[in-house]
Copies of this chain bind each other. A is one copy, B any other.
């Protein structure tokens, strides 16, 4: 069997570790065409058509729509990562070639990132850093100390209780907070978690809100000025989901005055702040530029012993299922494709 990856830009060392390449060998011959090689597109399409399985993901060349109607040997496209609208055209999703992605494999890392930000904000870590930099020490800033809290007994509201939200619960439960959640789509519920019927109720009764929802027409800008206004002073908002869920102007207005606190891995639009944005110096906010879920240290990409990441395990599991004629996991249909963000 022929497995093919065509790189569009430098191949991600995190994705293409030696350990992963070794683990692919039992499935067939792997060819990786690096970026920057001068091959006309028509030839690249021929190379694709000669492969049995296309491996895509961060940095992969987009698969041309013609593969939907003239697939050649291509029987399966295994997308190693999540979002794929810039890589896989809708025509292919509609074709008979199954396309899978990393499914729930990054859930742990996202949940861990949310925990880091929640604890850091709750303990006012940036306040400590700032007061030390400014020459203060013990009780240097009584306000900073007064905002230093604990998760024990803290009222935490989860906006979304899907796979990531449930991973997050596994991590936070030993800290013994009081947890409620809003998720109108959850079919089952979890012991010890209060189910609330509206976002208003969630925001009104929580010291900290943690967003684990997807971005849809329904959730877009749903965290608005009215909801934020219901939060208590020094209340905490954690967003490691999607920036578009929050009305950023409304949030920034609250953060600028110092009334609320936030840990923001994601932002509206292109996830960036201008270099001179004053928010960069707000001591009540930590921005992590969509990188809080990274897990690079102590694994060096060139490390021959780098363990398989969960996304690798997802890919290998699906390849095995493909070989065995078993149903693939996390096949992307038109509906899921449309929800991707």
Contacts and interface: CB of A to CB of B under 8 A. Distances in A.
A16 interface: no
Interface string A169-213: 011011100000000000000000000000000000001000000
B207 A298 contact: yes
A295 interface: yes
A129 interface: yes
Contacts of A173: 174
A276 interface: yes
A286 interface: yes
A140 B133 CA distance: 22
A280 interface: yes
Number of copies: 2
Given A138-B289, A276-B135, A112 B151 contact: yes
Interface stretch (A91-99, A142-150, A222-230, A316-324): A142-150
Nearest to A232: B298
Given A125-B286, A276-B135, A289-B137, A148 B295 contact: yes
A296 B141 CA distance: 14
A119 B129 contact: no
A44 interface: no
Nearest to A136: B275
Main secondary structure of the interface of A (DSSP, over half): loop
A120 interface: yes
A128 interface: yes
B151 A280 contact: no
Contact of A150 (B125, B133, B139, B295): B295
Contact of A289 (B126, B132, B151): B132
A135 B287 contact: no
Given A112-B152, A125-B116, A153-B307, A138 B271 contact: yes
A153 B295 CA distance: 10
A139 B120 CA distance: 21
A298 B138 contact: no
Interface in A257-316: 271-273, 275-276, 280-281, 286-292, 294-298, 300, 307
Interface string A62-97: 000000000000000000000000000000000000
A115 interface: yes
Contacts of A126: 129
B291 A152 contact: no
B286 A128 contact: yes
A175 B172 CA distance: 10
A83 to B, nearest CB: 15
Interface string A98-114: 00000000001100110
A289 to B, nearest CB: 5
Contacts of A307: 153
13 contacts: A108-B152, A120-B125, A126-B129, A128-B291, A129-B129, A138-B291, A146-B296, A148-B291, A148-B292, A152-B295, A154-B298, A170-B174, A234-B298
